[in-house]
Structure 1
Amino acid sequence: MLRRLTPLLIQSRTIKHTVDIKWVRPEYIPAYKAERSGDLEALPPIPETALGQDYALSEEIKDAPEAVKKIFSVGHLGKKEYNILVKSHFMDKVRRHQYDENTAETRIARLTGHIRCLQDTMENDPKNVIAKKTVQELIDKRKKLLKFLRQYDYKKFEWLLEKLNIEYKAHPDTYNKLSRKESLRKLTEMHCENIKNKKLDDYRNLLESQQGPFLTKKLEALKFIRNEQMDLQLPITVTEQDIKKVEEQLEEWTIKDEIKQQARKKKRNILLETE
């Protein structure tokens, strides 16, 4: 019976019972959300009165009455024509020339426009499974193109991210399954590391505070030894350079100590004002 109870008693005394660390499972963020896709802005401000891409090229539409223009506007033609204008808006930002359709930057711009449209669709209809699957595939495809451009032309890669207002979030090198046990282990390690660093900082501050009095005593002792050796006509072991070096160290410590004291006074005054 005692042999069976011994492991339980040992486990009850482990660090997870002595350290108060709580772990909460992080909130799940879908892949189409801007936090994971890297899109830093929403759809461009294209009005519903804008003409469709093909109809805007017609010369007759310019002199047509307002009722006719309304029929050929994106507000009347539907979401498909609006999405075409969104893609064209992003592609026009990065085109090399009028007929540039298949370079890496224009393909990324076209994908970005398509992703933004699908993100808007998912915000209005989160249960749209087809749109969710499509936008995840497009985000992965854009990441591959961005990785290619980053490898072969980094300046253009940076320029493209700024133009399209997106953030590159590469796929992680390794995939670790999220679990409570592993997360608690990492949190415990971080907690112990913080305690160690705090104790080291406190000990470092203690030694720095004792450095001034130590250097003062050392300087007095070196001067005394040098004077005694000169008076007794003994071989001089303490040179002027040794004394000068200690004086410089003491001067540096004095300046640093004054700066620390001023910082502490400012912090104390701020705390008193807040109270």
Structure 2
Amino acid sequence: MLKNVSNQQIINVFKFLEAAWSTTQIRSISYEEKQKKQRTHAQKMIDMFDLPTKKKKFETRKPFDYSGDFGELEPLKDDETMFVYRGLEDKFKEFPQNYSKVTSLEYADGQEKMAHRIWTMQEKFLNICKYGERSEMIIAQKTIQIRNLKEHCQKNKKDTLARVILLEQIQGRKKELKKLRKRDYKRFIWLLKELDLLYRPHPLYVDLNTRRARMRQYLREETCRIIREKINAVYTRLDSEKENFYTEKEKVLSEIRKDLSDHNISAYDVLQNVRKLRQERVVERQNKAPPTPNTYRWIQSDKDRKKAERRERDLHRNALVKKGMQKLAQSEEAS
């Protein structure tokens, strides 16, 4: 079969196949081209809605800023005796110096120092508050634990267990603060000032920081701005029309005064008559009997309408019967 086919025809066939393959071949899109397409789409959306393109600067946050703690743990003195051994300083003087070192905070471990801080804070709150008010004690204890764990987590950033415990303590303290806020707001404010805390209540509505939400917010702000501009334009127009209104008012009042003086009518008598008429109208309105409510009015009207329709139907039928009788009589006479 290929004997009758020339070389040029074969070349043309191959060219055609190559062109067809190049058109049907799936071209792989690179990552850069995909990013360019996304950028162009985003630019189209920005141009369509006239969105602001300026981004906010990244605000650096302090570590564990969500805890609401502004204060820090006060440094302990090494010479200070532990809370457990308070009141026994005179007796320890009789013992050697090594025993006194054991009772001081210089050689105390972390747990003993924590217990010392908690007990001193509890003693302070017991002197101020009542014994039954336990919520303040719990909040104070949790604040000491939180501040201690914050220092530990900042030093040991890979200690995930301590971070989890810290989050639990923060949430527990927030729960206690919420209860105290509902129970007694004055005590709540006093405790925040005393412990140097910041309470952030949970927001009622959480707005998601999505593209659609940002566009909605932008459109809302634009509509408010347009409404405000229109209101201000109306105010300016009214202010400009004030002078004309006052001049026209003064002109009308002067004409009224002139008419009163020409006809020898006192303005006081006119005002008295107007006041009397107003009072009479008010009295008439008050003495007027209220309309009696007719609950079955719509039923009665419906019955009347049906009766009228029935009457019209009967009259029409009687007229047709009369016409028929007349025709019969005429036909009989003719026959």
State the TM-score, normalized to the length of structure 1. Answer: 0.63
**Equivalent residue number for residue 162 of structure 1:** 193
Mapping for residues 190-201 of structure 1, pairs under 5 Å:
190-201=221-232
* 8 A Cα contact 2:121 2:141, kept in partner: yes
Q: Does 1:20 align with 2:56?
A: no
Change (3 A) 1:110 1:185: same
* 8 A Cα contact 1:94 1:105, kept in partner: yes
* 8 A Cα contact 1:90 1:164, kept in partner: no
**Identity of aligned pairs, percent?**
22
Change (3 A) 1:125 1:228: farther
Q: Which amino acid aligns with 2:51?
A: V
Q: Does 1:44 align with 2:102?
A: no
Partner residue of 1:114 out of 145, 162, 165: 145
SS in 1 for 2:151: helix
1: CA distance, partners of 2:215 / 2:93: 67
Q: Which amino acid aligns with 1:126?
A: K
Where does the alignment leave 5 or more consecutive residues of structure 1 unmatched?
1-7, 241-275
Q: Deviations over 1:166-206 (max 9, x none)?
A: 232233445554434323432442344245335534543x2
* 8 A Cα contact 2:68 2:199, kept in partner: yes
Mapping for residues 108-187 of structure 1, pairs under 5 Å:
108-173=139-204, 177-187=208-218
* 8 A Cα contact 1:53 1:81, kept in partner: no
Q: Which amino acid aligns with 1:94?
A: F
Q: Does 1:213 align with 2:243?
A: yes
State the TM-score, normalized to the length of structure 2. Answer: 0.53
2: CA distance, partners of 1:211 / 1:111: 67
Partner residue of 2:109 out of 65, 78, 81: 78
Give RMSD over aligned pairs: 4.2
Alpha-carbon distance, 1:118 to partner: 1.4
Alpha-carbon distance, 1:110 to partner: 0.8
Where does the alignment leave 5 or more consecutive residues of structure 2 unmatched?
1-39, 272-335
1: CA distance, partners of 2:69 / 2:218: 31
* 8 A Cα contact 1:230 1:236, kept in partner: yes
* 8 A Cα contact 2:51 2:218, kept in partner: no
Change (3 A) 1:141 1:12: same
Once the two structures are overlaid, the 10-residue window that deviates more, 105-114 or 90-99, is: 90-99
* 8 A Cα contact 1:93 1:163, kept in partner: no
Alpha-carbon distance, 1:95 to partner: 2.0
2: CA distance, partners of 1:192 / 1:123: 47
Once the two structures are overlaid, the 10-residue window that deviates more, 131-140 or 79-88, is: 79-88
**Equivalent residue number for residue 263 of structure 1:** none
Change (3 A) 1:121 1:215: farther
Q: Which amino acid aligns with 1:53?
A: F
SS in 2 for 1:19: coil
Alpha-carbon distance, 1:104 to partner: 1.5
Aligned length: 229
Change (3 A) 1:55 1:25: same
Change (3 A) 1:123 1:98: same
SS in 1 for 2:76: coil
Q: Does 1:54 align with 2:87?
A: no
SS in 2 for 1:166: coil
